[in-house]
Structure 1
């Protein structure tokens, strides 16, 4: 990582005769940003997209075969993505904490897995509920993920969910009329 203040001071050090121009160039070259640092945003973007796609893919595979499974297996499968997400997040915190891409991607995967677990357990065991309670429960459970992984995208997701919850709580579930795709 380049220390921009230090690099700006190099011409003064050369003028004072403390270092030569050649040494200043070598120092600049040594502290120049690497290709890995330049492509950090691309890596972060693809990590976030990857986490979202993996989470959604797991939900789709399970949903396709859902009716053929027993209640016990359905419950285990409802919690499996969340358990895998927690293991992934623990690994990220232990081994890759400095990588924003790993933190964001694993946090989003866990966020999707939490939503799937809440919805699936409620469906399997016929737990009554409404959209407002689902959104609030999901948001509260994401709070730990936001703080543990310092995830910006999960914090943004949580804010969207809380805003959605506030709208549903204030105006009712049918704020969008009879358009089911609005949910």
Structure 2
């Protein structure tokens, strides 16, 4: 039964008025439009990428047979086509999301192919890092001009590869300072998108890509005192946890809140690593001198991230939204300052992880949320597994501990389901 056919019959039968019929038709038209636009954007973008790759493969098959001038023409031609497509979109198809996404994606690959081909044709030497840097610098304004989510996603991925190449893969490794500009531009675009459409798919994807990219690339800013990066990472995850608690994220599904999930997983991984005494033994071997600390990028990264985390945590505390997870970085900072050169540091971290697990279990039971409850049980289980490898407990005692945890899972879930049924 089609709504378009039934509405006129209802108006004729005087069941609804003409104005009501118009409102209903307008409502359903608006409901269908976003889906159509989304499909057009997806297939338009995939089509642009496939066409670009097809052209590259066809040309590559006969590449050696072309003279240098023809090669240069073929190298520049996709760039010209991409720029023309973007210009045409801005002038004639500015309201079409599919045109904006497809032309931006095509131009992204056109810029990269043009730079690499011209370098190869005229034998211009250079490293992969410099190539990626020029590519990202040239493409940086395009997502803003075209208002393209796909363009922004491609830019984030390209910036990530740039930072990985400069900070991890090239020798000697250098600090990718330009990555700060790239990720700042990506965050700005994300905030604009979040303001325009907070529940959109683009916001959800950026909520995963941005924190994941920062988490991977933060290690590239470490040169001299790698052990200090534990504090930088915990502060970073404190920032993510505070961001994930914002009201605007309530419009997203829990799986779309990448800031919150990455903060939780990252904090647990860092704390579990620090729960081993061997890690703290290595930390105690390091001696810090004030002049070297002033030249350490790890110190500046930690100070910056800790300051931001404290500000966001204070804002959440004033709004009564802050939880235990947003304060973990501050507790670890206190442990590091007061006990890093003692044998009690790893004991304090173990107590912190255990407390985090208990608080999470209590929170899940209070909110009647099985996911949060089981997350707390997973934290306790992971802690016990870590202690399984560095303690001299007998196999019988270890078996009893695992049996206890297993029964704890069943009992906790059964009690929560029973409580839910009682309230229902």
What TM-score does the superposition give when structure 2 sets the normalisation length? 0.35
Asked if 1:117 corresponds to 2:114, the answer is: yes
Give 1:160's aligned residue: 157
SS at structure 2 position matched to 1:39:
helix
Q: What does residue 99 of structure 2 align with?
A: 102
CA distance in 2, matches of 1:118, 1:47: 25
Deviating more after overlay: 148-157 vs 120-129:
148-157
Listed one character per residue, the Cα deviations across residues 148-183 of structure 1 (whole Å, up to 9, x for unaligned) are 211111111111111111111111248xxxxxxxxx
Corresponding residue for residue 28 of structure 1 = 23
Q: Does 1:60 align with 2:76?
A: no
CA deviations on 1:119-143 (whole Å, 9 max, x unpaired) are 0000000011111111111111111
Structure 1 runs, 4 residues or longer, greater than 4 Å off: none
For 1:115 and 1:61, locate their aligned partners in 2 and report how far apart those are by CA, in whole Å: 17
SS across alignment from 1:31: helix
Q: Deviations over 1:75-134 (max 9, x none)?
A: 111001110111111111111110111100011111111111000000000011111111
Q: Which runs of 5+ in 2 are unaligned?
A: 1-14, 172-424
Moved more, 80-89 or 28-37: 28-37
Residue 45 (structure 1) aligned with residue 45 (structure 2): no
Instruction: Give 3-state SS (helix, strand or coil) of 2:140's partner.
Output: helix
**1:130 aligned onto 2:127:** yes
Distance in 2, Cα, partners of 1:33 & 1:61: 45
Residue aligned with 1:32, SS: helix
Instruction: Give the match's secondary structure for 2:27.
Output: coil
Residues 136 and 33 (structure 1 numbering): CA distance in 2 closer, same or farther, change over 3 Å?
farther
User: What's the TM-score, normalizing by structure 1?
Assistant: 0.78
How many Å apart are 1:68 and its aligned residue?
0.4
Equivalent position SS for 2:126: coil
Q: Does the residue aligned with 1:84 lie in a helix, a strand or coil?
A: helix
Report what 2:167 is aligned to.
170
Does residue 139 in structure 1 map to residue 136 in structure 2? yes
- The whole-number CA distance in structure 1 between the counterparts of 2:59 and 2:138 is 22
Q: How many residue pairs end up in the alignment?
A: 155
Aligned partner of 1:84 in structure 2 is 81
> Whole-Å Cα distance in 1 between the matches of residues 164 and 81 of structure 2?
32
RMSD of aligned Cα (Å):
1.8
